[in-house]
Structure 1
Amino acid sequence: MTGVLAPWLFGSPTPVAGGVGTGVPEAVLFDRDGTLVADVPYNGDPGRVEPMPSAREAVAAVRERGVPVGVVSNQPGVARGLLTYRQVDAVRRRVEDLLGPFDIWAVCPHGPDDGCPCRKPAPGLVLAACDRLGVRARRAVVIGDIGADLAAARGAGARGVLVPTPVTRRAEIAAADRVADDLLGAVRLVLGPGTGADRPDVATAGGRR
């Protein structure tokens, strides 16, 4: 992806080694707003960044297994003149202050009418993140809170896990192959036993509901 319709990529350009163990994904990519942090529309203020419940523990559990972590995020506020590159980067840095460093960020700065290949539900962000990491998209997992996140995963050949919030539609929940009550539950679904998330006190739900 090149030119003005390419996503913004933040992170090391050096490919990261994939995950270890049979069935373990080579990368876990998280949606940002409503998944990792509270959804504040068009937020360009780092001071308004607030982690979602269990976000710290979930991301840490993935890192503990040696699996690269990334973020795939639509930021249409840029196209609408409500956000700048500097503001998006400032919020990114604040998220990393709170949750630790991510190996890759793939951000779509375009609007819904721009026809870009990266705005979710298109698969471009997932493909760009996997390409930068040097991992296979079909061995990656995308965790998000709405149907567009899972559609992007599906289009890239990756697996998806839905973590619903009050804005998630019933139809999106019904259509999801995997659903978890929270981020720790989602991580447990994709990493399996032997992770920091594999604790009996963590409430999770798998499959359709």
Structure 2
Amino acid sequence: MRILLLLAHPLEESFAGSVAETVRRKLVANGHTVDLLDLYREDFDPRLTPSERARFFEPSYDPSEAEPFVSRLKAADGLVLVFPQWWFNFPAILKGFFDRVFAPGVAYENDPAGGRIQPRLDNIHLFWAFTTTGSPWWIVHLYMGNPVKRLLKRAITAFCAKGLDFKLVNLYDIDRSSEAKRKAHIARVEKLVDRI
């Protein structure tokens, strides 16, 4: 399987970077092809341009302003995201990736009659996310309603692809986590990725 592994963290020595490297190493060891897309290191511009937004509802949207990222998404069989949750949401650079790359004609098709959009990411069969959050489990789930999972599962994947293998794995309370807890999480990531 060809996996687009997307990392969204500004610090090279971050825990997210360690998780991404663990995922990459395990996937390669299991015979998968991995395209590591580190949004910060590749200087991805998350800003949707005025011309991109102005064309969103044109019959044949041209996604060329977001190349080569669009081509890399289209070439993948699976997408694995690694990112921290900040303010119970995506880092801005990752949100910009969805805005610019998950575009009409790429991830979905607008219904000319104004109805529900039609999924276009037929090539993506796996969509996993490994995240961290500074909040404990109960705040994320009970108080906030797990907004990142809802956005990924009910919005982005549901509107862009069908029949996906979806998984969200989170390390909660990262700011107060011990070295042992982080190592246990890395071991959990390795076991999960072994199933791909």
Quickly name the TM-score band, shorter chain normalised.
Answer: 0.3 to 0.5
More strand by share: 2
The alignment's TM-score, normalised by the length of structure 1, stands at 0.34
